[in-house]
Structure 1
Amino acid sequence: ACVHGCPSRETGGHLFWDCTLAQNVWNPFLTAMAPIYGALTWRTLLYTDAYDPPPVEKKTYQLELFTLIGLVRAIVFRQLWLNRNRVLYKAIPNVDAVTIIAQVSSFLHLKSTQ
């Protein structure tokens, strides 16, 4: 079962996308990226070859489009995974989405200043 209290079986898709906690974590990042990327799905996040940006975005941002989406995806996945392991193996209480969003935002900020 999901360590976050969902009745669903824990799978990669559930932990990183379908779980209520994951949805709440993804929401601000997907909303912020929507003007450039449009509506992103689990498939387009996993397989960026399934993502076909509009021509104007391709011309403006070029490869940075894929760098940004890859970076956000990796950091969100990492924080969701670390939180899951703290709950499962260390019996540390589950943190809320706001805490994970703050962690992801901090990592993104650090990465953008390098």
Structure 2
Amino acid sequence: MMVLFDMTKRRQFLSGPEEEELSLLGGRIRMARIRRSLTQAEIAERTGFSRSTVVDLESGKPGVSIGAMVSVLAALGLQGKLAEALRKDELGEELEMSAQKRAGGARNVADF
């Protein structure tokens, strides 16, 4: 993964797949809001963030903080869903098993 920065504007550029992922996530958050018959202004009021932050999140803009995203998810009744999505990490578990085999034993690893 390569992330580039334009130091004159301090703007972060993401790869195409990363931009698509943010756009997909933002679209899903937007659909969750619409299904609950909530406006962007109502979500902004519930979270304390500006409406423009909600718009940016739903648009998949990379500058929105993870805190804002978690707050919006909570306002939609979806708290914990982001962590749940990362709970099962097949690749990480496979890499861990390979490392244990190479090291000759099990390591103590926290189970989040």
For the criterion TM > 0.5, the same-fold answer is no
Larger Rg: 2
Specify which structure has the bigger relative contact order, considering alpha-carbon pairs within 8 angstroms and separated by 6 or more residues.
Answer: 1
Q: TM-score, normalised on structure 2?
A: 0.29
Q: TM-score, normalised on structure 1?
A: 0.29
Which has the larger strand fraction?
Answer: 2
Which has the larger helix fraction?
Answer: 1
